[in-house]
Amino acid sequence: MRFGVYGFGPIGRQIFKVALRRGWEPVAIIDIDKSMIGKDAGSLAGVSEVGVRVSKDPSALEGSEVVFHATTSWLDKAEPQIMEAVKRGASVVSTCETLAWPWHRYPEIAERIGDAALDAGVTVIGTGINPGFLLDTLVAVLSASVGPVKRVDAARYVNPLKRRESFQKKVGIGLTTEEAERALREGRISGHVGFAESAHLISRFLGIIPDEVREWQSVIDSNGKCAGVEGGAKAVYKGKEFIDIRFVAKAGASEGEVIRVVGEGGEIVWRSTGTPGDYGTAAVVVSVAATIDDAPAGLITMADIVLLRPGFSH
């Protein structure tokens, strides 16, 4: 597989290394950081030199079979970058959280990207560890053994002090509670992005369209200091809540995930001791890219490549 990377921050570099371990061939690395331009991508990623230097010119992506896109959580900002890859005949696997189910926030952008991908005969998909896997696709996989499904409760707990600095900043670590609440309200910190997208993905796996998806997010206070954020999404169908997703990023938290599915066949509860976020994102993204030749052209989601439909208990 010949690949490009658009965005060579911590996630982009991790994706690059995972792809190299698979024996794939890097074609181009794109970033706007002046400190990276002209440097060997391998050296920047902490591996041996690969002979590909970081460029700010997206035309360098020409010849890539797939482009790994890792620059932003917001599809309105990602659209022109994704289009640059698509018009050069490359499929795109992106970590952009709002691309995981783009019709929730950006239906018009989704239509434009979908049309462009179809015209070019390539595939565009948004995925990662969350949204994209832990609190949606994995839920569908677990649900297959007890479906049709009546209810899903899924939660993830992370300790931001163990994560990269940029993650700590986006959950308000280092701010007072008041500063973090204001920053979250004004959009200067994002907290977690993708609650609604995960709820919509689960719904698609179950084969229904929810009547309503409600998101919430708040700052966790610790004696006037921000200890992180918590939030989630609830999905309602015919007046009944059937999905409750929760994400807690709290300083010092015990890490782990808990998924509970209640179905016609009984109840299943799955627990983990925590999933490495950055590496997990890279591993999922590269795994998805490995299926891209078998995926349909256009804008798709994880529900189009993981063909499980546990069903919904009406």
- Relative to beta strand 240-250, strand 225-237 is antiparallel
Listed by start position, the domains of the chain span 2-128+282-305, 137-274
pLDDT in tens for each of the 314 residues of the chain? 999 999 999 999 999 999 999 999 999 999 999 999 999 999 999 999 999 999 999 999 999 999 999 999 999 999 999 999 999 999 999 999 999 999 999 999 999 999 999 999 999 999 999 999 999 999 999 999 999 999 999 999 999 999 989 899 999 999 999 999 999 999 999 999 999 999 999 999 999 999 999 999 999 999 999 999 999 999 999 999 999 999 999 999 999 999 999 999 999 999 999 998 899 999 999 999 999 999 999 999 999 999 999 999 98
Q: What is the 3-state secondary structure (H, E, C) of 215-251?
A: EEEEEEEECCEEEEEEEEEEEEECCEEEEEEEEEEEC
Integer Cα distance of 33 and 91 in angstroms: 24
CATH code for the domain defined by 2-128+282-305: 3.40.50.720
Pairing of strands 240-250, 149-158: parallel
CATH dotted code for 137-274: 3.30.360
